C-alpha cells in the first residue's frame, strides 16, 4: 500500500500562538482518492492517536480544528493556534484495521500511516511583575517608591522557550 505524506501549507518561520495553520495529507499519485484517509493527533494524556475527523468524539480537546475534503484534497485547518495544539499529527487510512474514524489507535507499524509531523507552537503569556516578599505584590502599570527605599521586583512568564528578562526604569 502507498504511504501518505503530511505537509504544512504556506507556513514559513515559527508557528506563533494565534496564527492559522493548515496541514495537507497527500499521496504521490495525482488524483488519489483521499476520502479513505483521516488526520490523527497523538494525545499525551491518552497515550494513543485520536481521530480528528469525528466531531462527536474528543473534539472538545481540539478547539478550532477543522478537517475538510474538497476537490480531492484532505486538509486540517487549525485557527487561532494555541499551545495545546502542539504535538504530533499524522494521516492514516480509515480502512486499515483499527483506524475507523473516531477510533483511537497507536498501531506503530501501520503501513498506511504517514510519518508524523510535529507542530511546535511559540507562545508567551502570563507575564507577571510582582513585588518581592509580599503576599499580594502584583504591580500595575506604574510603581511609586520613596527616595532611598529599597525595592525588589520579580518577573515571571509562561513561554514555549525560557524567556529572557530585561529591566529598565524611566
pLDDT tens, position by position, for the chain (170 residues)? 678 999 999 887 789 999 999 999 998 777 777 888 999 999 888 898 988 887 666 555 566 788 998 888 899 999 889 988 999 999 999 875 555 444 444 444 455 899 999 999 999 988 888 888 777 767 777 778 889 988 888 888 999 999 998 988 77
d(CA 40, CA 29) in angstroms, rounded, equals 22
Q: Extract the C-alpha cell encoding 28.
A: 504521490
pTM reported for the whole predicted model: 0.76
Sequence ranges of the domains in the chain: 5-122, 124-159
Specify which residues 22 forms β-bridges with.
77
* Measured torsion, CA atoms of residues 77, 123, 60, 66, in degrees rounded to the nearest 10: 0
Q: Are 52 and 40 in contact (CB under 8 A)?
A: yes
Phi, psi (deg, nearest 5) at residue 36: -95, 10
d(CA 38, CA 59) in angstroms, rounded, equals 14
Q: Which of the following CATH numbers is that of domain 5-122: 1.10.3720.10, 3.40.640.10, 3.40.50.800, 2.60.40.10?
A: 2.60.40.10
Amino acid at each position: 500500500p502507498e504511504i501518505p505524506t503530511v505537509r504544512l501549507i504556506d507556513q514559513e518561520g515559527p508557528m506563533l500562538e494565534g496564527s492559522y495553520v493548515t496541514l495537507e495529507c497527500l499521496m504521490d499519485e495525482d488524483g488519489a482518492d483521499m476520502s479513505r484517509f483521516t488526520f490523527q493527533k497523538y494525545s499525551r494524556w491518552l497515550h494513543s492517536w485520536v481521530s480528528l475527523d469525528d466531531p462527536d468524539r474528543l473534539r472538545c480537546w481540539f478547539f478550532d480544528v477543522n478537517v475538510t475534503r474538497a476537490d480531492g484534497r484532505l486538509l486540517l485547518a487549525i485557527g487561532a493556534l494555541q499551545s495545546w495544539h502542539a504535538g504530533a499529527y499524522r494521516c492514516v487510512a480509515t480502512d486499515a484495521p483499527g483506524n475507523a474514524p473516531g477510533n483511537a489507535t497507536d498501531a506503530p507499524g501501520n503501513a498506511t500511516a504517514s510519518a508524523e509531523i510535529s507542530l511546535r507552537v511559540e507562545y508567551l503569556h502570563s507575564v507577571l511583575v510582582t513585588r518581592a516578599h509580599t503576599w499580594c505584590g502584583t504591580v500595575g502599570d506604574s510603581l511609586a517608591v520613596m527616595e532611598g527605599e529599597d525595592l525588589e521586583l520579580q518577573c515571571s512568564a509562561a513561554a514555549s522557550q525560557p524567556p529572557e528578562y530585561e529591566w529598565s526604569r524611566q
